[in-house]
Structure 1
């Protein structure tokens, strides 16, 4: 029996050790060869301190590097705008045989693209725009038959565009603008959706396969002609004629008559031919001089770096850029302006190329989810009916851009032109409180429990208090769709401080039900009207009813008056959301929050508490409980992310 026990124990020990080894092998999976290739690339390429790869760590954890789910090979390398300088070293990136995406754009790379890039046979997207790369069109790239997007724009490439580009049968996006490519455009049969060869030295007629694109895709090539350009092709660029049949040569009557020409006629013809040649040479000289002058004005200098605070980009499909330190007044007007301490490095052209999805249409404009080429996702709000000047717009953006708090969605960038006003925010993948609270209430719905409702209310109150106390900014448009959520159910307020962009006569109509009574009449928002809107938001959390829904009984009644009428009849329990009934021991907290909400929606503005007081009352409700992360022990809950204590709130807005 003892021997049997020993054998059994040995088997278990062996199994346990094997399992440990198996798990260890899984955890420590490492694309060793790809790691060596990346280290060789970084060691041979001068770069900024932003790229710091720890050789003792897994390459899959490095900045800008993404591996496959099994961490067995490097899937993508994205290093845009990180200060890479000099030539791309050979025998480095070309060894990443499983690479799908490579982005080296907006650096200071020079020299030719290494020929060993032809080994990247699985590559789908290559972005090297906004560098100083030279040489002819990289022949090795025409062997990457799985490429779908190729961007060589804003470099110093020269020579012809090869016909072998037709090997790229999956290509949907080809960007070659702002280079020195010359010669005729080849007929490209790939299924292109995006195409641009503007600001090069191309000549001849535009092939029919490319004539479907806008004229802006061919602008800046003074010798290009044909559809979609306005200039018709001259006899200097005739369409290729069919070859003559040698068996039946065409008749040449002039050859027969030449024998009958007199000597005087021959001299006259010779003189006329000489004069014609002289005239043609003069015309050609004038054309070349005009072409040189137009090219000087059509091709502006490239900016030295895209890591500056403002990125210059023209508002259109053309990707030509103005130097951020100079240029015309119009160029100064057309900038995507980033705020200090931002995490993004893209420009307006990248936004125009991004895939966009409409998230919602609000009272101030439409919001889009934009996914950029390197995988960055942002929210772009396109404002409508802005009535202030550029100077006033910029001043308000400077105020909003300085607001930093964990419960406020940061404004990352803005853009102003005569026709477009854009704001750029972080994308919050968890969605809005409105969608969570009023989404499908069918059998598959997961109810929003009391603890999470309280967490959302508290975190939203902290964000709004920070706006009032530290930022001195009136939100002006508080509603559940502007309360965005993080995965931990913490809330952040968005779309704040936009009211000053609209004149008193053009102030957008806010969603019915959230507006304070005085705002309906004066159309002027204040700190106290924000408190009213937040009180409505608390009632929304307590009742589960949207303020503008029609199921509040009496037609035309708003949520605060409906709650007052129910409470007045002493049916308080009927107020609360039926989804909250299942949770025990929360009645007292619900009643306390209801009292805070009712004080906040007082008809008289002076009778409402300040947001600072609202927040403190909400935290006093749960001061004794600290185990669920809802409570805050700080003496001043409205402190910003830097820990600075805000000044006392004034009774009236600035």
Structure 2
């Protein structure tokens, strides 16, 4: 009996182990289902609770090893309660996003989620003051986006003390009082515009761009105008018991006189404007964020006067989307504006409308062959297009000589500025793959919605791919071939650079695919496609595709890739897959070139392939840098350090 006792003990331990298994707690799936129960209008989450893999559920973010790490419940018209107590039970949750929903009330106690690294609450209906300690203990938090809500009161000091904060967007709220002294030095995104902040901007933020503080009338100091009154530093207008009362009276009288003069001048200026009924759109150079499109200077003669001979214009902005509006032509013309660029089509401006949105205005000078009715109908058709990877058209203004299109503004500028600009930005393999997938999805949407069009985009190139705050790509200047003067389109539009236009004189149904292929090669190589600089139809033997093909044929494949992604560990095989896709998309022979269905399907199959664990001699991305750029795993490796 003694000899059998050890075996008996082992059996008992095994039985006890099984019996205690339920005490380990709920699974992630069970916890998420409880969280779903606190939400209202959760129709988009109907697949939650299915027997499929947890990582296949809508809105769940997972790493390559199928480990859950985040929730991305965006654009779902969802509301209800964000059950923080339930979310606390998810130990691997580091990213949470409910952008563009209908959540309301005070901000939940996210500080209980101490491991959170990214918080996205923009475009909801949250309101009220945020407690000063709302972000206390969240030492890993790197991204905070609270824009376009109804938050009020002072900016929490605990937010300003976050040691790793890189991105902060508080625009479009009602925050008031003084700006706290932020301890962070290297913000990538920083925006406090359109609030009710006042007082002097802290010295630690004096190197930010003025646009970061626009719409706060009470702010002063660098980078805005100096806090001075009558040549002296501004002081509190409260009585100073340490100084003679006479001096206080003199200061008060001076202030009253200055205010009266300013008010009188403003009234005279308004009367003058109304009398002459002049509406001039006068851009001035404004500095933009480092990752935005670069502003360029211009002379006063470059000002736009859209009211010259108004009988040729319709006199008003024509909005093409129900969710846009809130401003009129006069407000647009009165907006502070910056020139973003000037190209073969016309000029592009960034306009910051007072108490309104920031928009991009594009002036097209080569659409004068199209009639008003035809142009209006085509713009209305473009306005119905809605896709995450299309830059939405908001409005248009018709004149016989030129046309103005108003688009939403993308915070991070064009893809071309990141690939070829000198702003120090680095796009990793992960970010580039995400961008290409988004471009492909947007192009597929255009093909599906314009089945009868030969080139539904027509001008696909890196300068017409813009990036929003999370580096999600948005296609721009799409669907304009139909309203562009044919001679100008043949000379400048990207689809007319495809090889078949040299032979047939017109683009083919696969010409947009050729542009997609060139874009893929540009993103992978970092080289600008020189054939886009040549005016006229068709490509030639010196284009980017030919160069890539020659290098690959010589088996020097490694020399093809941009040096910034060349050392991506475990990603080279996937990079090669995408390279081959690009080459098939821009085959010289239209018959051998892939169609859009096959190209998009192949692109979707490309994986990052654990590139985020890069520890090569070129780049190393540690777990510490996880989620440093966006709320999605596809941009996991944006933050890099030399290894």
Q: Which has the higher contact order (CA 8 A, sep 6+)?
A: 2
TM-score where L is the length of structure 1: 0.49
